[in-house]
Amino acid sequence: MNRDDRQAFERQSVDERVGEAERLDGNAAAGILSEVFVPDLTTARATCANCGTIRALGALLVYAHGMGTVMRCPSCDAVVLRVARTRAQLWLDLTGARLVVMAAAAAPSVA
Amino acid sequence: MNSAQVPAPARAATITWRLATVAGVVTETPRARTLILDVPGWPGHRAGQHVDVRLTAEDGYQAQRSYSIASAPQDGQLALMVERLDDGEVSPYLTDVLSVGDRLELRGPIGGYFVWDVALGGPLLLVAGGSGIVPLMAMLRHREAALEIADARTRHNVPARLLYSSRRWDDVIYRSELTRLAQDDETLEVALTFTREAPPEWTGFRRRIDRMMLAEVAWPPGERPHVFVCGPTPLVEAAAAALVELGHDPALVKTERFGPTGERG
């Protein structure tokens, strides 16, 4: 990962403005999130680190940019999650989520 | 049981890109057509989910879009409905060029949030604008197939209503199928509204979906209907806000915005 990519990813949270990208639902981020997580993250519940609201990720607002996907809290508009794909890497920023709770895959029963 | 006898847990499946073959093409409206696909290894889906479609140019440039699945999980083949956007990068290829026997790269099913099945119960309120009908049609098709083999009580428990906004009569996707479904099923009601031009003699709604229209069509909030709203972003936001103002629980109002262009990224 080169320095320009890193700077662009880090700058994005500052520069990203509502209205520049179309506003979609958390569902629209399900594809790229499936590259990172095996469980379906749209049904996982995230606690917004800014306001404490707990919602399914599918209920967050999604802004899809060339650089990546930004998910915002519909209550306070804070960034909850960012995920981006470059040619060789996936970038994930979860600092806006205090907690993410998802359904576990059925565990094998071991006595 | 001792752990040595337990088979190693299979690694949970990740969503992988698959090569689908176009098995059929159905023209729905002058701008929209359905692609019927054979997808080897398709794991099945739930009504409301979508797929990502990826096109690769000869120079390696890739464009990726999401399309809602139109078919019911019970259907044998996967159906996607694609609406042509004149300045689109992907949709003109899918609506004008792709034909039977061609292959297409896709991954899915994706997204478990905007889904409904009969087991979740009802009432079911669906609100659509334009091509936003597609994932809701998958729910209606699933519901019809499930109720065909259900007992009377299950039928009674999942009444459904659809409020569907189109510009004009010719833009109503699945028009004849919706008419047939509503005729054959007394627990399904379909209300159309036209925002540009209603057919002659039309006695129904002739305006954008608003709070008064939703109050008329929807069950009272106390009935706790499962609500799914899908369409262009302004329609979805207006309808979802009006439903919450009317007293519906925000947790029961699920939205799928197609964005202003209708082509999701």
Per-residue model confidence (pLDDT) at position A87: 81
Per-residue model confidence (pLDDT) at position A106: 58
Per-residue model confidence (pLDDT) at position B259: 61
A92 touching chain B per CB within 8 A: no
Tell me which of A49-63, B3-17, B96-110 is least confident.
Answer: B3-17
Per-residue model confidence (pLDDT) at position B2: 46
Contact residues, chain B, for A24 at CB < 8 Å: 233, 257-259, 264-265
This complex has an ipTM of 0.78
CA B48 to chain A, closest CA, distance in angstroms equals 10
Q: How far apart are CA A26 and CA B65, in angstroms?
A: 15
Extended strands (E) in chain B? 17-29, 32-38, 50-56, 62-68, 78-83, 103-110, 124-129, 160-168, 188-197, 226-231, 253-257
Number of domains in chain A: 1
Contacts of residue A85, Cβ cutoff 8 Å, sequence gap at least 6: A32, A35, A68, A91
Residue A80 located in a structural domain? yes
Per the model's pLDDT, the better-predicted residue between A10 and B169 turns out to be B169
Per-residue model confidence (pLDDT) at position B13: 61
Residue A111 located in a structural domain? no
CA A74 to chain B, closest CA, distance in angstroms equals 11
Domain that holds residue A33: 20-101
Contact residues, chain A, for B111 at CB < 8 Å: 27, 30, 40, 42, 58
Residue A36 located in a structural domain? yes
pLDDT band at residue A38 under the 50/70/90 scheme: confident
Per-residue model confidence (pLDDT) at position A12: 61
Per-residue model confidence (pLDDT) at position B3: 45
Per-residue model confidence (pLDDT) at position B101: 96
In chain B, what are the domains?
17-110 (2.40.30.10), 118-257 (3.40.50.80)
CA B216 to chain A, closest CA, distance in angstroms equals 26
CB contact under 8 A, A27 and B9: no
Asked if residues B95 and B88 have their Cβ atoms less than 8 Å apart, the reply is: no
CA A38 to chain B, closest CA, distance in angstroms equals 6
Residue A53 located in a structural domain? yes
Tell me which of A96-110, B13-27, B245-259 is least confident.
Answer: A96-110
pLDDT band at residue A109 under the 50/70/90 scheme: low
Per-residue model confidence (pLDDT) at position B4: 47
Mean pLDDT of the B137-165 span: 92
pLDDT band at residue B89 under the 50/70/90 scheme: confident
Residue A11 located in a structural domain? no
Q: How far apart are CA B244 and CA B240, in angstroms?
A: 6
* The token pair that represents B103 in the structure block: 């292959």
CB contact under 8 A, B110 and A31: yes
- Angle (deg, nearest 10), helices B175-184 and B133-148: 30
Residue A97 located in a structural domain? yes
Residue A13 located in a structural domain? no
CB contact under 8 A, A34 and B15: yes
pTM for the complete prediction?
A: 0.88
Per-residue model confidence (pLDDT) at position B265: 35
